[in-house]
Amino acid sequence: MDKRLVAFIQRAVQSDRELFLYNASWQALHREFNVGSPLGTKIRISAQDKTELAELVLKMEGVDVRTGSMAEFSSMNRHESLQKSRQEKWAGKAVASGRILLKSLPDHLLVVNGKHISLPERSHLDIAHETIVDLGHDAALVVENYECFDRIHQIEFGLAVNPVIVYRGDPNASRANDVMAFIKSHQLSVLALVDIDPAGLVIAQSLPGVVGVLAPSLTKLDALLQNGSLELYRKQRPGSEQALRNSQNALIRELWAMIEHHQAGLVQERWLDGDVEIVMHPMG
């Protein structure tokens, strides 16, 4: 049975009502299982009908619709769904939910749960963040775009710390809410490696525990923005301008003023050329 149909049956079984609108779902159930008594635009579902429907769902799908709620499946993974039904596809939690992608700076070790891990270039640790009980890093370098996360070794950093590098995420991997939970649970100071464009600045100031934005020196950044993307600025300005202009952070306002002056933005993939040093600009 379709998950929505089972939820539909569950609502009826748990209801005190007997009369229901004779809609397409009831018409299909009556036609296929001879349940209920149609009365014009209504259908009568007796206590016996409800019992038969509940037993039918229990036999077909392994779900007792007389108790609980189908809404519970929205927070289950596929394995948990199979404990409650015969349908792993009813699980609402995405397969990669709860997992984050981590790595370290080149020539540094990733320290997780007491293990000192040396990762090859263009590799990372894919881990359920709730399993991390001991993290050997006090700061997290959160990278907005996957290509920069993957090729982090090509960026020239001038940093005095050894942060754990975290991919900020997308709908398929290392989702933003999981990254936020990881940062908060370990009370990490955050360095934001984002696009220097309106949307990137909004992301930077929204990160919990953020202490700095990683970018070239302001002098170099000003020069690079002269040949930046006008399209990035044009598309992102309407949705970001108010949040940036009214930002409580002086650095964000300064970077926004620079972007607005040039009416251009820069994507962080520009740093992969390795011809500029990326430094931390304190948030203050």
pLDDT averages per 10-residue partition of the chain, 284 residues: 83 91 92 91 94 87 78 61 54 66 95 96 95 96 96 94 93 84 96 97 95 97 96 94 94 97 96 95 90
E strand or H helix at 165? strand 164-167
State residue 87's pLDDT score: 57
Say if CB 104 and CB 110 are below 8 A apart. yes
pLDDT value of position 175: 83
Q: Map out the domains of the chain with their CATH numbers.
A: 3-86 (no CATH), 99-282 (3.40.1360)
71: DSSP letter:
G
Tokens read off for 161? 């710390």
- In this predicted model, what pLDDT tens digit does every residue of 194-241 receive, in sequence order? 999 999 999 999 999 999 999 999 999 999 999 999 999 999 999 999
pLDDT for res 172? 73
- Token pair 């919990």 is found at 208
Task: Tell me which DSSP letter residue 265 carries.
Answer: B
Nearest to 257 by CA among 211, 198, 216: 198
Helical residues (DSSP H) of 40-191, grouped into ranges: 47-61, 78-84, 146-150, 176-185
Closest CA to 283 of 241, 252, 260: 252
Q: Euclidean distance between the first and final Cα of the chain, in Å?
A: 57
Polymer length of the chain: 284
